[in-house]
Every structure is written in structure tokens, then in C-alpha cells.
Structure 1
Amino acid sequence: MAGSRGAPPEHWRLAPRLVGMLWLGVACASLLCLLRCCGSEGTQSFGLSRAEAPLGEGQYGGTEAMGDADGRMMVRRRRRRKKRSAGDGEDADADGSAEEKDWRAARRLPHALIIGVKKGGTRALLEFLRLHPDVRALGSEPHFFDRHYARGLTWYRSMMPKALDGQIVMEKTPRYFVAAETPARVHAMSRDVKLIVVVRDPVTRAISDYTQIASKTPGIASFESLAFKNRSLGLVDSLWSPLYIGLYAQHLERWLAYFPLSQIHFVNGERLISDPAFELGRVQDFLGLERIITDKHFYFNKTKGFPCLKKAEGSAEPHCLGKTKGRTHVCVEPEVIRSLRLFYHPHNLRFYQMTGMDFEWK
């Protein structure tokens, strides 16, 4: 009897186990619910960021930071939406193509440089080349290799226009040809860059250069007085900038220390005026471009004495270069011109030999 009183009832021994199992079940159910909620919110958030974020926006700069496959998929989706909403498949497809091209375009370092010479026709050449669909050219002169080199190539690249694969990026700064430090700096950027030099009769070029300087410098001394160290002895001041630039052989020698002659193309500045289509054809060949710019793009302005474009880049209107182009030169005494031609003669002959071209300057 005493033994039966000391033994606990059977259901009291089971109670602790039942309570433990109940708490374990509640904990598992709570954890499962929490995981489902978090997973649903994460999936919804991810779907919004990829499907609803507009093209070109987002935390990492839109399609530029996406993989190529993802970026192309988004472009195609937007093009299909445009087609459906526009109701004109052809126009919508054109818009989509433009968007896709803009997405693929990037700023690149130049493949070609117009390095000189001042008052040789560099502006005209650049404007004419910009007609070509495979040329993307910077309109202003960045002066990177002669004045702003310390800013670095990242800054230089940021100055360039956006271009697609296969398009040629280029800029022109005429001072590059005569600045002593530029050949090495250009070579450090790219040993394969193509170089274009526009040259003209150095005497005519010097007078044109002085004419431009005089238009901006009231009271400047005469051309005759600046061109000579001692006029009575006929000593030409070859370091005076308008005359120094015309020492083409001397400047070319520095460039040939870094680049082969095959990478340098010379444009005849006189013929660029009289027959622009011919010179543009040679330049297009040099750059590996299809000959798209032809004589149908030009007409001759008799008032300016200079070729003009029948249609400018991105316009249906005729376009002539600014009022500073084709400007009437100052009068220079014939005796001074003869002295300068004698001075330049040996330099010109050396330039002809170096380039393998006879420019027929007097």
C-alpha cells in the first residue's frame, strides 16, 4: 500500500515531454513563416529593380554596368514596347536602333590626330571629315599634348565624343606639330595612332598667320620688321613663330623618331582649296574609310575664294567656314617675299625628300 502511494501517476510523467514538443512545434512554425515572408519581399524587390528601373538609370549606371546579354535584352524589350505603342513598326524600329547605338557608344582615346599646321587648312579638313558617318571628331582644340598633359589620359578621353566600335575618333590641334615634347607623349598614348599634317607654301602660310595675329593685336609691328633680325643684311628671324612653323623638315624629323612615315599623311593645303574632293579621297584611304565624301559635297564660294559644304554635318543647309577663313592677307613687300622664298628653299627641298612628295612651292 505504501509502495503504491509513492509511485506518480502515468500522465504526470508524460506532461514534460508534451510541453517540450509543443514549444518546439511553435518555434518551427514561426521560423518557417519568417523565412517565407523575407523570401517573398526579396523576390519582389529584385523583380522591381530589374523590370521597372528605366534604361540607363540605377545604382550602377544602368546598362553600362550590366552584362552584355542583360543590356541587349532590355534594349530589345523597349524596342518591342515602342513598336506596340507607336503602331508603326518601321519608325519604332528606327528609334530602337538609335537607342541601341547610343547604348553601345563610348568615349575612346583618338585613333587619329590632325597635328598641324596652323593656317594650313586644318579646320577645313576637320569640318569636311565630319561629314563621314564613320568619323567622330572633337570640334574644339583640346591642346592636351602641349598644354594640358598633366591632366592625364582620363581627362583627355572624357573630352572625346562618344563613338561606336568601328568609328574613328579624332581631334585636331595644329600646335602639336611644332611642340618639341608632343611626339613622345603621343607615342606613349598609342604607337598605332595615325597622324595627319596639312601643309602649304611656308611663305604664304606665314603671311596668313601674321594676318590673323594682326587682327587681334592692334599696333603690332609690320610683317617686314618682325621677319628679320637684320633686314639690311638679310638675316631672317627663323625663331619668329610665323616663320618657325614653316620649317616643316625640322619638325617632321622629331616625329619620325617615334613614328614611321607610313603612319603620317600629308595633305596639300593648296589643293585642299582647289580640289577638296581629291584630298579628302586620299585622307579617307589613309584612315581606312570608304570613300563617301566626294565632289558632290562641295561648292566653291567665289567671294571667300574657298570651298564650302553643300550640307553641313547634321544639317540640310549649306555651310562655309567662319569669317576668319579666306581672309584677305596683309600686303608684304615683294622684296621681302623673295628673301623668304630663298630662305625656305633648302628647307623645302629637304621636306620633299623626307616625304617623297613634291609640293611645287616656289
Structure 2
Amino acid sequence: MAYRVLSSRVAPSSHRLSRGFLCIFTLSLSVTYLCYSHIFRSDAVTMPSQRFGEPLGAPGSNAGAKRLLHKLHHCTSPRVAPDARPAPSAAPRARDYKAANASGAQRYGNKKLPNALIVGVKKGGTRAVLEFIRIHPDVRAVGTEPHFFDRNYDKGLDWYRGLMPRTIESQITMEKTPSYFVTHEAPRRISSMSRNTKLIVVVRNPVTRAISDYTQTLSKKPDIPSFEELAFKNRSEGEVDTSWNAIRIGMYILHLENWLQYFHLSQIHFVSGERLITDPAGELGRVQDFLGLKRIITDKHFYFNRTKGFPCLKKPESSSQPRCLGKSKGRTHVQIDQEVIEQLRDFYRPFNVKFFEMVGHDFRWD
């Protein structure tokens, strides 16, 4: 009898406790569900806007993620003092770096004015130097020629910077426009951008360079006069026409004197167009040294293409095919009379001697 009385009094209390516990548990689940629903509904659009590979913690780069973490923090965690929260890393992840390099489109970092320029010379091998050096992971370069310091200077430095690829702190930004070397205003304009700019000039036997220049022009304008007609004012007297651009470009010492008014000789590196064909790894090794880069580009990156007559890059990891320069590179030169070649060699010889003395290197063009 006592047992029945006790049970009848305790049971209602136990039921009340169970109902209370269930109520609290259900309410907790509901609040948690509503909180997470709010988070993912509000950030469903903002999260994808974060660009692949942007450095964590960069201004404006992780706004969606920050809001998400902030809301999760308030919904699921107790407050933590600001100085106790770990600072986000500003460095890009290694796998993002490799993926961006493999795709050829780096999407993190900033657009900066170039640290180095390939300023000349036309038909000397500037495209080869650019394509070879840009496989270095610490070099980012513009593929096309911006022609900023000769044709587009009035568009301003902001326009020019906008053409540059994105780079991180450890990378060098480069571009190449070979007509800069013979543009009188280019040295002054580049110096006003930065007096610390490093300059690369690819030089080649001026006679061979002139014939290559003419061959390229002839492929576009087949009705132009012969090489001999353009090269000489008076062929019988051997009077060379220095007003013809194909001849004038090869008078390297005249152009170099203009550059030395604004840059120290130590800021200019000269690449041999001839050795670039016979020893590309050696020439690129010296370019890497000049730019302050680790020698990563070596013999293992090149093979000699006998059909084209110049070196090509071996198959990169991101491609199934070797990489050679375009069809316009390595075209067969127009045949020029040997007497004409000898006359031009005689003409260029004094200019070459002065150039060799100035740069402290004999390129052996005779």
C-alpha cells in the first residue's frame, strides 16, 4: 500500500522532468538549425566570389569566409579575446602556387611595374630570351609587346601597370619590346619610372641581323625593293644608307651611348644572339645571374630542333608537346651577294670595335 502511494506521487514528477528535458533538447536543436541555415543562406553567394589562390588575410580577399567564421564563432563558441585569435597567413599555399604556374595564369599577388625589360634588339633573339626565361618560377612576363615607352607613353603608368601579370613579393615582373633600344626617348622615360630597372639587350652580328630584318619585311611586303637597293645609297662606291632602319639598328654603339646617359653599364646585360642558338643554357644561366635568380633553367630544359635550326624547350610538365617558337622564327634568309655582305662588314667594323670596347666583350662578328 505504501509502495502504491509513493509511486503515484513520484511518477508525475518524473514525467514532468522528462517533458522538460525533451523541450529544452528540441529547442536547442531548433536554434542550432536556424543559426546554420542563416549562415549558409547569407553566404551562398559571397563565398564563391573569393578568387582562387588569393593570399589568406589579403584586404578584401576573404570577406565571405570571414563573415562565415564570424557567424560560426558567435553561434557555436564562447567569445575569445582578439589577441588570442591566430593571425591568418598572408602567403599563398604551395599547391596553389604550382597550380597557377602550371596553368600559366597566376591569380594572386599584385600587378607591379616591371623590374626588368628586354629592350632590344629586333631580330636578335628577344622572343627566345623571353620564352626561355619565363619558365623560371620567379619570373612573370607579358607575352605580347606593350610598346609603352615608344608608342603608348601618353596612356600613363597606370595603364602600363594594368598590362602586367600578377606577382608575389619574390617574383620579377618583365616585358620585352625590342624597339625600345633604338627609340631616343625610351631611356629617359624608363629612368623616370625607375632608375633601378634592369635592362637586357640581345645583340647579333649586325649584317646577319639586317638580312633577317629584311627577310621578315619581305614576307609581309613582297613588292619592296631588293636588299642591295635599300642598303646602299651608292653601291659602286660602297656608300651605305644609314637612314634605313635595318642598317641603323645594327650601329649598336650609337644607341648604347644614349642609354648610358640614364643608366649605368652594370644595369645592362648583353646576350649573344649567336650563343643563344649554340648554348642556350649558358646564355640563360648568365641572364639568371644578372637578374639575381637561382639557376633553375639548365641544359635539361632544351633540345636542338634541326628543322628550325635553333633550340626549343623540352616538353613541360603541363603540356604533352615540346615548345618551339612560332613559324616566323627560323625562316630561311634571303640570299645576298657575298660582295654586298663584305661591304657591310667593312661598314660595321668600326662601330663593332667601339661597341666591344664599351661593353668589355668581343662578340667575334668578323
TM above 0.5 = yes
2:168 maps to 1:164: yes
Q: Contact 1:115–1:175 (CA<8 Å) still a contact in 2?
A: yes
Q: Is the 8 A contact 2:108 2:166 kept in 1?
A: no
- Does residue 244 of the first structure (1) align with residue 237 of the second (2)? no
- The one-letter code of the counterpart of 2:309 is G
How far apart in 2 are the matches of 1:189 and 1:49?
A: 45
Normalising by structure 2, report the TM-score.
0.75
Letter in 1 for 2:348: Y
Describe the shift of the 1:76–1:247 C-alpha distance in structure 2 as closer, same or farther (beyond 3 A).
Answer: farther
Residue 37 of structure 1 is matched in structure 2 by none
Report the Cα distance in structure 1 between the residues aligned to 2:317 and 2:122, rounded to whole angstroms: 23
Residues 67-101 of structure 1: per-residue CA shift (max 9 Å, x gap): 79x77985997xxxxxxxxxxxxxxx766667999
The residue identity in structure 2 corresponding to 1:165 is E
Q: Distance in 1 between matches of 2:161 and 2:58?
A: 19
- Alpha-carbon contact 1:64-1:103 (below 8 Å) kept: no
Q: CA offset at residue 130 of structure 1?
A: 1.3
Equivalent of residue 308 in structure 1, options 305, 312, 320: 312
Aligned to 1:53: 46
Find 2:178's aligned residue among 174, 196, 200. 174
Aligned pairs for 1:131-210 (under 5 A) are 131-210=135-214
TM value normalised by structure 1:
0.76
Alpha carbons of structure 1 residues 192 and 243: separation in structure 2 relative to 1, 3 Å: same
Counterpart in the other structure of 1:358: 362
- How far the C-alpha of 1:325 sits from its partner, in A, is 1.0
Q: Is the 8 A contact 2:252 2:352 kept in 1?
A: yes
Q: Identify, as 1 or 2, the structure richer in helix.
A: 1
User: In structure 2, do the counterparts of structure 1 residues 109 and 50 end up closer, same or farther at CA, with 3 Å as the change threshold?
Assistant: farther
What SS does the aligned partner of 1:307 have? strand
Change (3 A) 1:105 1:316: farther
Aligned-residue offset at 1:311? 2.1
Q: Classify 1:75/1:337 alpha carbon distance in 2 versus 1 (closer, same or farther; 3 Å).
A: farther
In 2, Cα distance between the equivalents of 1:96 and 1:248?
44
CA contact (8 A) 1:56 1:64 kept: no
For 1:249 and 1:73, the matched residues in 2 are separated by 58
5+ long unaligned stretches in structure 2: 1-37, 70-92
Moved more, 229-238 or 142-151: 229-238
CA contact (8 A) 2:232 2:239 kept: yes
Superposition deviation, residue 233 in structure 1: 1.6
| Higher-Rg member (1/2) | 1
Contact 2:281 2:297 (8 Å CA) reproduced: yes
- 1:292 equivalenced with 2:296 (yes/no): yes
Structure 2 Cα separation of the partners of residues 150 and 159 of structure 1: 15
**C-alpha distance in structure 1 between counterparts of 2:245 and 2:365, whole Å:** 20
1:111/1:170 contact within 8 Å kept: yes
Task: Give secondary structure in 1 for the equivalent of 2:215.
Answer: helix
Q: Secondary structure at the match of 1:323?
A: coil
Instruction: State the one-letter code of the partner of 1:238.
Output: T
Relative to 1, partners in 2 of residues 1:49 and 1:112: Cα closer, same or farther, differing over 3 Å?
A: farther
What is the percent sequence identity of the aligned residues?
Answer: 60
User: How is 1:12-27 mapped onto 2 (pairs within 5 angstroms)?
Assistant: none
8 Å CA contact 1:146–1:181 kept in 2: the answer is yes
Structural mapping, 1:203-242, within 5 Å:
203-242=207-246
Question: Which blocks of at least 5 consecutive residues in structure 1 are unaligned?
Answer: 1-44, 78-92
Contact 1:119–1:208 (8 Å) recurs in 2: yes
Aligned residues: 301
Q: Secondary structure at the match of 1:214?
A: helix
Partner of 2:47, secondary structure, is: coil
What is the root-mean-square deviation of aligned Cα atoms in Å? 3.1
